[in-house]
Amino acid sequence: MDLILDNFKQCVQLKKKADSLGAWDMKEKVQLADKAVNLSFGVIGGLIDKVAQLEKQVEELKS
């Protein structure tokens, strides 16, 4: 879970940095945004895995 949180924080920082750039820095802005999007998919995947793990634990506790 720590890795998921770290990646999420990194996404936020990349987005802030990309948002602070102007049109004259469009290439860097797009690169930063692309990195943030790629990291966010990793965060989403990690959360999906965690939810599945928790669902399994709940089912085991019910039985």
- Residue 47 to residue 37: CA distance in whole angstroms: 15
Instruction: Report CA Rg, the chain.
Output: 17
Residue boundaries of the structural domains of the chain: 2-62
Three-state DSSP class for 8? helix
pLDDT string in tens for the chain (63-residue length): 888 999 999 999 999 999 999 889 999 999 999 999 999 999 999 999 999 999 999 999 998
pTM: 0.76
